[in-house]
Structure 1
Amino acid sequence: MIPVVGVEDQTIAVLGLGRSGKATAAALAAGGANVIAWDDGNDTREAAAADGLQIVDLTKDANWHGVTTLITSPGIPHLYPKPHPIIAKAYELGIPVDNDIGLFFRSYATAGWDEFDRAPRVIAVTGSNGKSTTTALIHHILQETGRPTQMGGNIGTGVLSLEPAEDGEVVVLELSSYQTDLARALTPDVAVFTNLSPDHLDRHAGLGGYFAAKRRLFAEGGPDRAVIGVDEPEGLYLAGQMSMSPADDRVIRVSSGQKLDRAAWSVFARKGFLSEYRKGRQAASIDLRGITGLPGAHNHQNACAAYAACRAVGLAPRQIEAAFHSFTGLPHRSQTVRELNGVRYVNDSKATNIDAAAKALQAFDRIRWIAGGLGKEGGIAALQPHLDRVTKAYLIGHSARDFALEIGQTAYEVVDTMEAAVARASAEAEPGDTVLLAPAAASFDQYPNFEKRGEHFTALVEGL
């Protein structure tokens, strides 16, 4: 646990008592704060009270007396579509609102660091797609090269549940827009922006608000190095904002598909090869084509971002390349489950939106595509240009019949359930085919989350 600093004898209110909320309450108490807590769910409140938390009804004005700060969980709206009533009350009373990310960045560094030979560092990763894989890949590379490292944030351990820093340690954090939007302190040593595509637009009042939430990690965080994907206009803009001149190598530009040989420092992937350029000259090259855990152009972009972040903390190209080959990927993200009778089965249950599904479809040939679930606004018609590699689609869930109307001339079968989809796809697949779960839809019609959907697919495939 990382005790929160600067809160001794203060009354701090915590809103939301899920995993991060309970960890935050414990870290605040460890820092000497008087913690009061509230959650909208009665069962959650009762469980927290049983764990010893002081439950105080923050819907009542009288209970705000003496509160100096409100700490809210990331999933609770603080501005759009409208602030949660308790957050709105804090605004009205002039009480600062923060989250666990802000508390982490103001508490991680301690006076004990003066005794270390190498100061610990923080790499923070944000973006729309690929940030979990990029975060996990950076963490894996650091582990493989013997650097002390921890991983947390939106993946793995909550930030305040991490252990205090070791000499030379690198903490790798995945940060969502929900987390970066509100944090009052953001001070990573290396900040990574993977890419941008429309997501969470209601929470941020549109694409501009969504990008602004991501941008805070850079504009307000002031990282020593900024690793920025420049395949979208927003990334190009952000790289320009962070650079003092074309020769400024504090910004490492990253691309999948573009040759970037004019920037002061760049890492890009083309035709399956990663290249690092510095001051117009190639510094390193890695063949990514045979790396099973990083299939497709979208994972090559993740590899470039992870490579750049690891170079920024002093790792050598050959160290990074060796670690790439032992990376197995994350569950539910282009995860090869098994190969059976010459057929590859891939679980990309995390591909819940159009952009992620398009990238998954571009990563494989001769695809038997399992898609569907609870469709999102706009449908999947935009995927038609990416369906040339699909031999047949097997459509499941609430939006299966809607999807059937939007995939053009692609052969399909409405099978409704995952069991039927896996059975039909495996029965019809031929050697060299890939059975790909890339739903392009949310899971909530049939599963509590995308993880459970992917686990069901995996269990069915392993049972073939």
Structure 2
Amino acid sequence: FDDYLAAKSNIVKHQTASDYCIYYKNNNDSVKIGQKSAGQKNTYPIVRYQSELKDLLDYLKIPGEHNRENAEAAILAVLSILNLSLDELFSNSNRAIYQKIAHGLATFVGLPHRIQFVRELNHVRYYDDNYSSAFPAADVAIKAFEDYSIILIAGGKDRHLDLTAMKERFFSAKNLKKIILIGETRFMLAEGEDPDKFILADSLEDAVEYAKNYAEKYAADLESNYDLCIPSTREALNNQTAKPVIVLMSPGAASFDMFKDFSDRGNQFQQIVNAF
């Protein structure tokens, strides 16, 4: 690890006063490297302009606090190149630059098959997390959407692993409204106390179609409940109805029972979704 840090330190070794160094201030190693720079320093997470920054970061469609922090670093990099401050970014005189940054965030879909935003349709957002070939990776994706209602597509090759933790997560996660299971593990994962939570699909096409139908119905039901409820209860529903329903394909299993590899699985998922 010391060799790794020494190699990273080379990034700032030859910086001059005309260069910029943007580093993560909540990590001691990052701070040590950043402070070695002779360049102009900026740190993130950003503590000023919390309200304005939240509005800007909300354009980002890929979930997770780590992605929002990465976006803050990217914003600071843009401002460094343009020689602008945060004060200037959030002033009315720089709305054009603000809009360009917002557009960049809104159109960034993330790395392929890693909680990658695919599209939004009928108040449903589709995400491709087919790089997920084990439960811990799927669990990270589920946690990234903990404030959203999720229709999950999971399952794959049976590698004779202990699926207990995955099953417990499926049953305990209140935001998992329906789980569509594919592949060899689908029967094992569906065993348990709440069989109505699961749909078993024989093909990816069927799985995505099931997910689409359930997600659109769930989104419509939320809107209907909001329209019909009395005004005093609308505030409680407001945050939920304002957010899209998520269709997340995060298999938590290997792909080679039905696909060539995870990329093939992810590409097929995206092709089906984009054909809607």
Query: Same fold per TM (> 0.5)?
Result: yes
Q: What secondary structure, in the 3-state scheme, does the structure 2 residue paired with 1:220 have? A: helix
Q: Does residue 108 of structure 2 align to residue 328 of structure 1?
A: yes
How far is the alpha carbon of 1:265 from its aligned partner?
5.8
CA distance in 1, matches of 2:123, 2:8: 48
Counterpart of 1:238 in structure 2 is 29
Task: Report the AA paired with residue 388 of structure 1.
Answer: K
Asked whether the equivalents of residues 294 and 303 of structure 1 are also in contact (C-alpha less than 8 Å), the reply is: no
Secondary structure of the residue that 2:212 maps to in structure 1? helix
- Partner of residue 350, structure 1: 131
Measure the CA separation in 1 of the matches of 2:83 and 2:117.
28
The residue correspondences of 1:51-130 to structure 2 (distance < 5 A) are none
1:391 deviates by 0.6
**Identity rate of aligned residues, in percent?**
27
Per-residue CA distance 1:178-219 (angstroms, 9 max, x = gap): xxxxxxxxxxxxxxxxxxxxxxxxxxxxxxxxxx4xx64432
Relative to 1, partners in 2 of residues 1:308 and 1:329: Cα closer, same or farther, differing over 3 Å? same
Partner of 1:384: 169
After TM superposition, give the deviation of residue 371 of structure 1 in Å: 0.8
Equivalent in the alignment of 1:295 = 63
Match in the other structure for 1:233: none
Residue 426 of structure 1 aligns with which residue?
A: 212
Question: How far, CA to CA, are the matches of 1:380 and 1:229 in structure 2?
Answer: 38
1:286 to 46, 53, 56: 53
Cα distance in 1 for residues equivalent to 2:187 and 2:262: 20
**Residues in 2 aligned to 1:454 and 1:290: alpha-carbon distance in whole angstroms:** 25
**As a proportion of its length, which structure holds more strand?**
1
1:388 to partner: Cα distance:
1.7
Change beyond 3 A, Cα 1:406–1:355:
farther
1:408 positional shift: 7.2
SS at match of 2:209: helix
Q: Could you tell me how far 1:392 is from its partner in structure 2?
A: 0.8
One-letter amino acid matched to 1:418: L
Q: Which residue type is aligned with residue 183 of structure 2?
A: G
Q: Does the CA-based 8 Å contact 2:8-2:33 persist in structure 1? A: no
Q: Which amino acid aligns with 1:297?
A: E
From 108, 126, 151, the equivalent of 1:368 is 151
CA distance in 1, matches of 2:205, 2:76: 41
Is the deviation greater in 396-405 or in 313-322? Answer: 313-322
Which residue does 1:174 correspond to in 2? none
Question: Which secondary structure does the structure 2 equivalent of 1:333 belong to?
Answer: coil
User: What code does the residue aligned with 2:271 have?
Assistant: A
Q: Deviations over 1:323-372 (max 9, x none)?
A: 34333313433344333343333222233444443343232622111011
1:460: Cα distance to partner? 1.6
Asked if 2 retains the 8 angstrom alpha-carbon contact of 1:379 and 1:406, the reply is: no
Contact 2:57 2:68 in 1 (8 A): no
**SS at 2:169's partner residue?**
helix
**Cα distance change, pair 228–355 in 1 and its aligned pair in 2 (3 A):** farther
The aligned length equals 219
Distance 1:239 1:410 in 2: 48
- What is the aligned counterpart of 1:221 among 2, 5, 8? 8
1:329 maps to a residue whose letter is V
Q: Work out whether 1:437 is the aligned partner of 2:249.
A: yes
> Any conservation in 2 of the 1:374–1:442 contact (CA below 8 Å)?
yes
Q: CA deviation at 1:301?
A: 3.5
Matches within 5 A, 1:166-185: none
Is contact 1:384–1:407 with CA below 8 Å preserved after alignment? no
Output the CA distance in 2 between the equivalents of 1:315 and 1:406. 58
Offset, 1:311: 6.3
Separation of aligned partners in 2, 1:338 and 1:381 = 30
Show the counterpart of 1:50: none
AA matched with 1:299: N
Which has the greater radius of gyration? 1
Change (3 A) 1:370 1:298: farther
Q: How far, CA to CA, are the matches of 1:421 and 1:349 in structure 2?
A: 14
Cα distance in structure 1, aligned partners of 2:6 and 2:162: 32
| Contact 1:380–1:440, Cα closer than 8 Å, also in 2 | no
Tell me the secondary structure at the aligned position of residue 180 of structure 2: strand
SS of the aligned residue for 1:294 comes to coil
What SS class does the counterpart of residue 300 from structure 1 fall into?
A: helix
Q: Point out the structure with the larger helix share.
A: 2
Q: 1:407 to 1:434 in 2, by over 3 A?
A: farther
Unmatched 5+ stretches in structure 2: 13-20, 90-96, 220-243
Residue 298 of structure 1 and its aligned partner are, at CA, apart by 4.3
Which residue of 1 is the match for residue 93 of structure 2? none
Q: Distance in 2 between matches of 1:396 and 1:456?
A: 14
> CA RMSD of the aligned region, Å?
4.0
Aligned to 2:233: none
Cα distance in structure 2, aligned partners of 1:425 and 1:351: 18
